[in-house]
Amino acid sequence: MTTLPLALKLANQPCLVVGGGEVAWRKIQTLLGSGARVVVVATFVSEEVREQCSAAGIRVHERPFRDDDVAGALLVVAATGDPAVNAGVQRACEEHRVLVNCVDDAEHSTAQFPAIVNRGPVTIGISTQGTSPTLARRLREQIEALLPDSLGPLATYLGGRRGQVKEALPESHARQKFWDHALDSELVDLVATGQIDRADERLSEMLTAPVKAGIVSLVGAGPGDPDLMTLKALHRLQRADVVYHDKLVGAGVLDRCRRDSRRVDVGRRSGDGVDVATRQASINSRLAADARQGMRVVRLKGGDPLVFGRGGEEIAWLAEQGVPFEVVPGITAGLGCAAIAGIPLTHRDWAQSVRFVTGQVHRDTHPDWPELAKPDQTLVVYMGLRALRRLCERLMGAGAAATMSAVAISRATLPGQRVVPGTIGDLGDRVQEAALEGPLTTIIGRVASFARMDRP
């Protein structure tokens, strides 16, 4: 990061705008919105800007810029449209150690105006450090769409009750917990609908009742691309005190966790000598122990927690132990793979059902191969990289045609995703030739012939 986002209090502070055109006027308006005392210096001032400045009570000096104009200003904006004049303003600011924004020239600016989203006292500034104002505007639009108008009144309400809560809960951790709890309660709706008296009653009740005990949230992280997580999953990550995650969960997803949350990788390590049952037992007891201490625990799993994810075992354990839990579903890998490869998992003519199956077939499991080999369905095979060849052979042995379409998809929705199409007769060779790596999922059935390799 080469710039630091900082919120400046500009009320009554002297700010100088050099320039008198449309761009300068936009900056003047932004500064006025923050209560700044604006002075304008420009050799040319458009009629419109002159009128608007006069209406806003702004002093305008119609003359060339002089270096000492910047003296005493807190912030200067160079918006002349003339690079030579802007450079002069920038030099003067450097000399007088005044912050300067040169419009459309991030390199010579010591201050930049972020794209702003405003909801009352809540202000969000978006900066791309001058790399792409268009991207910043796009992000602003997306954030605008996400934030309700009621956020402003809510922030004002909360600000007005901080003293009361601080007095009741002097300890800062307890206070943070209380506020988190309050923001998940009906208090938010009461304020949004203007029922302030009822909101106050509820707040007082919550201050006297103990804050809810901890909970374990089994959260699905989706197939890899963090944007494919659900809003609820994101919400849980941002509130979590501790996150126990699998190896498959990538950095892109973990970056969305609350900054000060504890993150624990409980993924399997080859060669660490810990057997599966022991590892699972240790995870189970850590989840329960943390929740009992009142923590918000997230058990984060790739895809959906209840699809080939041992989520069922964790739920059973938590229920047995009386630990509150919830499940937040995620997009399972098979769906992510189908989407990136453009494969419809069901099709009116070709596939009337879908089966999610594991490629890890153990000696003591006996899949119904003739059933799996039937042509009018789609098989989505998880964890099948090593066993792919054997799986295809078993299907052919059970009557499936060697020409049945099959597609291997690796790292779906992640950088480096690959789609390798073939048939059950040759997919093993193709995957080997392409040197595909895990995680890899295979989709088998007539619908696999839809696979498109030209997807980004």
Ligand X SMILES: C[S@@+](CC[C@H](N)C(=O)[O-])C[C@H]1O[C@@H](n2cnc3c(N)ncnc32)[C@H](O)[C@@H]1O
- Contact positions toward ligand X, by CB under 6 A? 223-224, 248, 301-304, 307-309, 332-333, 336-337, 382-383, 409-414, 438-441
Do residues 31 and 77 lie in contact, with contact meaning Cβ atoms separated by under 8 Å? yes
Closest separation in Å from C-beta 337 to ligand X: 5
Q: How far is the CB of 377 from ligand X (least distance, A)?
A: 19
Give least dist CB 92 to ligand X, A: 55
Between residues 19 and 421, which has the closer beta carbon with respect to ligand X?
421
Rounded to the nearest whole angstrom, what is the least distance from the CB of residue 319 to ligand X in the complex?
Answer: 20
From the CB of 95, what's the least distance to ligand X, in Å?
55
Residue of closest CB approach to ligand X? 303
Which CB atom, from 223 or from 428, has the smaller least distance to ligand X?
223
The sheet that has 262-265: what strands, in order across it?
Answer: 262-265, 242-245, 296-301, 215-220, 325-328
Chain position carrying tokens 């100088």: 16
Nearer to ligand X, 290 or 304 (CB): 304
Comparing CB distances to ligand X, the nearer of 165 and 248 is 248
Cα–Cα distance, 394 to 403 (Å, whole number): 14
Local structure of residue 222 (DSSP, 8 states): B
Cα–Cα distance for residue pair 93/103, rounded to 1 Å: 14
**Cβ distance to ligand X smaller for residue 204 or 278:** 278
444 and 406 Cβ atoms separated by less than 8 Å: yes
Shortest distance, position 218 Cβ to ligand X, whole Å: 11
Of residues 405 and 410, the one with the C-beta less far from ligand X: 410
Helices (H), 322-451: 333-341, 369-372, 388-397, 427-433
State how beta strands 115-119 and 122-126 pair.
antiparallel
Q: Which amino acid is at 112?
A: Q
Nearest-5° angle of CA 322, CA 326, CA 330?
Answer: 150
